[in-house]
Amino acid sequence: MPRSTADERLAAIAPVLFDRMTEMVLFNRSTRSVSSHAAPKPLVRIQLTSSSRPTRAGLALSPDEISYLVTNFERLGREPPMSS
């Protein structure tokens, strides 16, 4: 379905008006649901003691954040969970 002129204008200015991390622009006003429901994935444990440090688990964390988490999970005596 082609966009209207108003939608084209909104699409042009949307990056300035909306935060892509927390908001989205819906051009189709008949959209009833913006979320989807999926079955939860099982948790896996990230091994802190091996050479596969958490940086290889696909986490978007800085080295300082990873060190903080490793230190505190070692203090707790367990490994952090992560969904697979």
pLDDT digits (tens, 9 = 90+) for 7-49: 788 788 888 888 888 887 776 766 666 677 788 888 777 777 6
Residue 52 has pLDDT above 60, yes or no: no
Q: Which residues contact 59 (CB under 8 A, 6 or more apart)?
A: 66, 82
Evaluate whether 79 touches 73 at the Cβ level (below 8 Å).
yes
Output the pLDDT for position 42. 83
Output the pLDDT for position 37. 78
Tokens of 3: 């966009």
Output the pLDDT for position 49. 60
Give the number of other Cβ atoms within 10 Å of residue 46's Cβ: 18
More confident residue, 21 or 59: 21
Q: How far apart are CA 57 and CA 1, in angstroms?
A: 40
